[in-house]
Structure 1
Amino acid sequence: MKQVVKQAKNVNEAIKLALSELGTTIENVDVKIIDEGASGFIGLFGKRDAVVRVCPKFDPVSSLEELVYSYLKGMNIDSTIKVTKKADSHMLVDIQDDKLGFLIGRHGNTLEAFEHLINLAINRKSPYHLYVTINVDNYLQIRQQTLTKLAQNVANKVKETKRKFIFEPMKPNERKIVHIALQNMNNIKTTSIGKDPERKIIVEYVG
């Protein structure tokens, strides 16, 4: 985020110089007074300029909307974008368009890469760290339902055969879905083994 440090004979003059350089108004910036300055003795001895730091106010919702829109526009995509602040640092971006399967990719790999790119870009602008989740055409909900059903089917099979089942490597968020889906199932235990990106879940029968 661009910030400007200016000095002048007083604080107000320093702020005016900073606003002029940024091309904005006082309502749209945050001002930090580094040094209030001093007029000195009889206006001569000990005289010191005032110093201020001025930077544009950061709105995570509008900034993220603009960022995602600019990336999509670069791919000739015109979709509806909705940004929601889920927590202090967690932002959810919903992109609604049923023609964006290519942006999701196999097992969500393309979407994960796009999400990583957006996280890097927005955190270069934000004065504090943001964590961005991107959902395209309700993919996250559909994927969660699919994994939950798969986990339950696997657990039922493990109960029936008393033999453990090892899932293929999963992303951290997908492993969490499986663990949650089976955490209250009787006689079933889930454990994660290995290191990312090869970390897997084992589903075992416990008598």
Structure 2
Amino acid sequence: MDFVEVSAKTVDDAITKACIELKVSSDNLEIQVVSEGSSGFLGFGAKPAVIKARKKEDPILDLEDIKSVFEEKKEENKKNIKHEEINLDKREVKSSEEKKLESPGVQTTQRIKIPKTEEDIVVMKASAQKFLDSVFHSMDMDVDIEMSYDDMHECLNIDFSGDNMGILIGKRGQTLDSLQYLTGLVVNKDQETYVRVKLDTENYRKRRKETLENLARNIGYKVRKTKKAVSLEPMNPYERRIIHSALQGNKWVETYSEGKEPYRHVVIALKK
């Protein structure tokens, strides 16, 4: 894809403008700063910032690559766990019936929490470590792995550090998500209750969330001004929920999802 030239008051504004124009988040843009611009003197002689931007090419290791490498492990374990993402999409936007159930005086069924013992946690970490070590060995990567268990959220947090972590993240985090899913299968193989596994590196999850929230607000503003709906790029259920949540309280625009996986995407439209 060819570069497009975008100008704005500041470089940051130009990047945001490019995100809206190309319909991608900033971490999926290849950016070249042509001019940082200047504010001039007392407003006179001001020059805009100019950048060139285009969508990034697919990473060296993509979703299909990692899926094919670990397909055997996936088939072996998938019978022992309920797929976490089955319910994620259903929770994107609470329906009116769900809201009624949350009203005062209405009882709702809550899942019973069974605390993990120290032995359970040790077994989980050992299983994850063994699997991930074999993965990174096959990829010829030297990766440091840190783990901690969050008992409150029943989640095993795993953080990676090392060189070339962008390979593990992949396009829109797809490689990291696939590795997270497979690690979850391995960890939950011998567990009586489901444990969520969260993989992260270089604080990618937080940065991606902030990028999507910023994109949602900017597109929402654009939709309000132009009165034209905008369809975003395909996203996984978790990222679509971020978009929905970012604009949930907006009185001008609404959000909904369209399409089928893996091409399901969020549409931001003016409220009727």
TM-score exceeds 0.5: yes
Does residue 228 of structure 2 align to residue 168 of structure 1?
Answer: no
The answer for the alignment partner of 2:270 in structure 1 is: 205
Decide whether the 8 Å contact of 1:58 with 1:127 is kept in 2.
Answer: no
Q: Secondary structure at the match of 2:251?
A: coil
**Contact 1:86 1:92 survives alignment (8 Å):** no
Post-superposition shift, 1:129? 2.0
Distance 2:162 2:202 in 1: 6
Could you tell me which residue of structure 1 aligns to residue 218 of structure 2? 153
Select 1:144's aligned residue among 209, 218, 222.
Answer: 209
Alignment partners' CA distance in 2, 1:154 and 1:194? 20
How many residue pairs align between the two structures? 151
- 1:59-138 correspondence to structure 2 within 5 Å: 59-74=119-134, 75-76=136-137, 77-85=142-150, 87=152, 89-97=154-162, 99-138=164-203
Normalising by structure 2, report the TM-score: 0.50
Structure 2: gaps (5+ residues): 1-116
In the alignment, is the contact (CA less than 8 A) between 1:95 and 1:136 conserved in 2?
yes
SS at match of 2:269: strand
CA apart distance, 1:160: 0.9
* CA separation of 1:58 and 1:86: change in aligned 2, threshold 3 A: closer
Q: Displacement of 1:205 after TM fit? A: 1.2
TM-score by length of 1: 0.65
Q: Comparing both chains, which one has the higher relative contact order based on Cα–Cα distances under 8 Å and sequence gaps of 6 or more?
A: 2
**Contact 1:188 1:206 (8 Å CA) reproduced:** yes
Q: How big is the shift at 1:90? A: 3.1
Larger proportion of strand = 1
Gaps of 5+ in 1: 1-56
Match of 2:249 in 1: 184
What secondary structure is seen at the aligned counterpart in 1 of 2:260?
A: coil
How far the C-alpha of 1:85 sits from its partner, in A, is 1.7
Q: CA 1:60–1:196 in 2, change beyond 3 Å: closer, same or farther? A: farther
% identical equivalent positions? 28
Cα deviation 1:150-171 (Å, max 9, x = unaligned)? 1111111101101000112210
Per the alignment, residue 30 of structure 1 pairs with none
Letter in 1 for 2:131: Y
Superposition RMSD on alpha carbons, in Å? 2.1
